[in-house]
Chains A and B, each alone.
Chain A
Amino acid sequence: MSTVAAGFERARGILPRPRGVWGFVLRRVLLGLLTLFLVSIVVFAATQTLPGDAARAFLGRNATPESLATLRKQLHLNEPVVSQYLHWLGGIFRGDLGNSLTGSQQPVTSVIGARIENSGVLMLIAAVISVPLSIALGAIAARRRDGVFDHTTSIVLLALAALPEFVTAILLVVLLGTSLFHFLPPVSLIPPGGHPWNYPKELVLPVIALVFAVTPYIARIMRASMIEVLESDYVEMARLKGLREQTVLWRHALPNGIAPAIQVIALNLAYLAGGIVVVEFVFAYPGIGSAFVGAVHNRDLPTVQALGILIAAAYVFLNVAADVATILVSPRLRTSLK
């Protein structure tokens, strides 16, 4: 919450002040856009630090003076850096991310379009499962603090948190796909043109791997904040009024306990956008992760830049959404904006 407040303070300093919740939302969105703009400079600048230039990096062993000249022209590499940047930035707003350098040189948007759908579905399913699951785990653990359930979940979640997701992913494959049992496909081959929801079996293992990757953090923070809330005076008051424990827990304590967790949820979902790269690679899942790895490997800069901006945008969006959600669920913050 402190980061929200601080951000709020900063925002108040430099921007005109439309009042109320919507004013706050507007300011957050504008700040998000500013962040994205800065990210775009960083993403673009990173491509300038390559040895040689982008054309030479891409052509590698096949570079000839003619092909270098053609590609440099195509990438506007002969223009000054600033105008290259403006050209690229302008393209983003027109929905033109340039053409992929590889193969048939299709527009980047069509290369990554289907990949975004695949990854989006994977992330969405992982989020829909892991967020309620971790909130419930955290809340129950807090309620039964120091009980068997609390200790067991603590140990399991800590163990999962300690394992990098590629290790859990590979363990899952060995356990359920290749060596011990054979009832799930160890790699997720979704043919081009197919939609991931038509291949539920292929989704199971990557989804579990992602759920394992994010659940521990959210559940831990949820548990900590619920313990604090359950010890507060108003919960005591609710209990003394004779409300059922279930009602106290889910209706009264949870909304306040969830506020700090929202930030962590957002961070973890944003992390999914990046962490999915590793999991997709292990399962050969055709999403943005494997597209990103492939594009970096091929030095396909337009695609790298587009995916870099896309993942950054996911981060910014989720953070803004988290800030707004925190305000909305916390009556204290909500009223202070009035």
Chain B
Amino acid sequence: MREDELDRIDEEARQRGISREELLKRAAVAGLALAGSGGLAQIARAGIAATPKRGGQFRVGVAGGSSSDIIDGQDIVTNPDQARLMAGFETLVGFDKNFKLKFNGLAEELSPNKKGDVWTIRVRHGIEFHNGKTLGAEDVIYSLHRLIDPKLKLFGGAALSSVNPHGMKKLDKRTVRLHLKHPDATILDALGQYVAGIVPVGYSPHAIGKAKPNVGTGPYKLKSFTPGQQSVHVRNPNYWRHGQPYFDGVVIIDFPDDTARVNALLGGQVDAITNIPPAQVGIVNGRSGRKVLESPTAQWTPLCMRVDTAPFNDARVRKAMRLIADRPQMVKQALSGHGHVGNDMYAPFDTAYDHALPQRHQDIAQAKSLLKAAGQTHLTVDLQSTNGALGMNEGAQVFAQQARAAGVKVNVKILDSGTFYGAQYLKWPFSTDFWGTRNYLSQVAAGSIPTSPYNETHWPDAADRKFLTLYREALRTINRKKRYEIEHEMMKLEYDHGGYIIWGFSNFLDGYNTKLRGLVPGWKGVMQLNNFGSGFRTFWFG
């Protein structure tokens, strides 16, 4: 069966809220499946072309990391924590290389009632945690309780606000019924986030990263862990996906320093690294046996204007600022060209993303006339930034240069992160920030409504309150087509009046030794290295 056909089935399964297996089974019964296109033969050929080999110790150097590293199935602090979480823990559903939701996780079924406020979750049969416990309904209930525990304040909990802690019922060994506070079309997205890992009953109930034993259902078991240095993981012999994983073990090593990380790859001390500085891409590609893997992302470092504070409480000023940005130049200079141009709209990987919105271009003349109309001809503003992610400071500085042409003076203030994220954070009138890859409605929940944990722009302004009504309506709309229409209306409001200047999305630049196989170029990932090989189970040594 062809890839796109499987995609279509997944799409349909998602829409109808049943599992892919279920749909395939039904199709088979109807005598439709696997017919035509010589599907089986094709799969067989692909299989021969790239038969994964078992064995070896995979060593990966991950950017960042410090003594604040943790391992938790539902939370992360640093970048290496993501890799460690992926090695040991899994979610009910997942995303594929096109950032499309797939029923490829622990859940065999995840389906709503007609209204979308009651969901049934059934986990697959015979999956074991690393300590031998069989995955069951009680673990799912426990995991969801832990995710939304207000005391733990887990990041993944924000997207699960519709989950009613008193509305979870165990139907049988593997089935849970979930009664939501209100219909919620984003529940699958929320359960597919990598931080929504399923943990066994009793897993570290009161603290983050302190589970003993630290067990999940993932491809590798944790053997040892020293925060700020490295962790060692060994192959899970009872892993449920047939044949996977391929390595005997995985070592995840912290590398805060860019130079040391690249040197370790060049010197052969690690097999792959994340985050190659753009300036060193040529060096790595120029070395035989080493290669750079470039993957697009939907992560962004916006300039954030507070829509409720002068001068940005005037929508004309916001529009003028957005027209000042020469986005291709910003991507070229701030990201050294390793990225994609943005259109003041987040979530470009979402199937709901409105590609009909015209690409915004620099238009200094129009910006000037808007500023004049708003009485802000000689506007001077402070732009607060910090070295939080590649593109924050760089983007701010390039923008300040471009603003001069429109007579706007932008004073870039680079603060240390303690000050930036201190008492003033989310109160700066004009600042930078960074966000990861999310779908549209999940991102709205995280940053664009008054109840969001990080709403830098204080959107929506008084004139666009309609946005909130639309948001609630979208959540309740299970029919995808109707929901997309509502989402497009929301996007239009943000595109016209919003407080974000979204100039670009950066690419992941990872390096690997060419003896490593299974890497997929162009993977639309949330994390580096194909989401760390979905827990290092899709890579092998050739």
Contact = CB atoms under 8 A, between A and B. Distances in A.
B260 A104 contact: no
Q: Is the interface of B mostly helix, strand, loop or mixed?
A: loop
B109 interface: no
Interface stretch (B118-126, B130-138, B239-247, B414-422): B414-422
A60 B421 contact: yes
A303 B418 contact: no
B181 interface: no
A291 B67 contact: yes
B209 interface: yes
B52 interface: no
A327 B1 CA distance: 87
Interface stretch (A50-58, A143-151, A235-243, A250-258): A50-58
A74 interface: no
A61 B67 contact: no
Interface in B409-467: 416-419, 421-423, 425, 454
Contact of A63 (B209, B228, B267, B421): B421
Given A102-B67, A281-B257, A286-B229, A185 B423 contact: no
Contact of B230 (A170, A192, A281): A192
B57 interface: no
A165 interface: no
Contact of A60 (B70, B267, B269, B422): B422
Interface in B52-93: 66-70, 77
A191 B70 CA distance: 18
Contact of A185 (B210, B269, B418): B269
A138 interface: no
A272 to B, nearest CB: 20
B520 to A, nearest CB: 28
B267 A104 contact: no
B253 interface: yes
Interface in B250-284: 253, 255-257, 259-261, 263-264, 266-269
Contacts of B77: 103
A182 B153 CA distance: 48
A190 to B, nearest CB: 9
Given A182-B267, A189-B253, A284 B66 contact: no
Given A56-B422, A60-B417, A61-B425, A298 B66 contact: yes
B224 A192 contact: yes
Interface in B332-360: none
A101 B269 CA distance: 31
A185 B153 CA distance: 42
B522 interface: no
Contacts of A50: 418
B407 interface: no
A65 to B, nearest CB: 11
Given A52-B423, A192-B229, A294 B66 contact: yes
Given A177-B267, A186-B264, A283-B260, A57 B67 contact: no
A178 interface: yes
A283 B263 CA distance: 9
A102 B422 contact: no
B263 A291 contact: no
Nearest to B66: A294
B226 interface: yes
A300 interface: yes
B81 to A, nearest CB: 10
Contacts of A294: 66-67, 228, 256
Interface string A153-168: 0000000000000000
Given A104-B210, A189-B253, A191-B230, A299 B418 contact: yes
A14 B119 CA distance: 82
Question: Size band of the B side of the interface?
Answer: 35 or more
Interface in A53-109: 56-58, 60-61, 63-64, 67, 100-104
Nearest to B388: A61
A187 B421 contact: no
A102 B69 CA distance: 8
Interface in A169-184: 170, 173, 177-179, 182
Nearest to A52: B422
A104 B269 contact: no
Nearest to A284: B260
Contacts of B229: 191-192, 286
B227 interface: yes
B303 to A, nearest CB: 18
A103 B419 contact: no
A295 interface: yes
B418 A104 contact: no
B422 A51 contact: yes
A111 interface: yes
A219 interface: no
A103 B68 contact: yes
Contacts of B66: 102, 294, 297-298
A95 to B, nearest CB: 20
B269 A189 contact: yes
Contact of A51 (B259, B268, B419): B419
B227 A186 contact: no
A178 B263 contact: yes
Contacts of A64: 153
10 contacts: A51-B422, A61-B454, A102-B67, A104-B209, A192-B229, A281-B260, A284-B261, A286-B229, A294-B228, A298-B68
Given A192-B230, A193-B226, A286-B228, 4 more contacts: A189-B230, A284-B264, A297-B256, A298-B68
Interface of A: 50-52, 56-58, 60-61, 63-64, 67, 100-104, 111, 170, 173, 177-179, 182, 185-187, 189, 191-193, 281-284, 286, 290-291, 293-295, 297-300, 303
The 5 closest A-B pairs by CB, nearest first: A102-B68, A192-B226, A186-B263, A60-B421, A57-B418
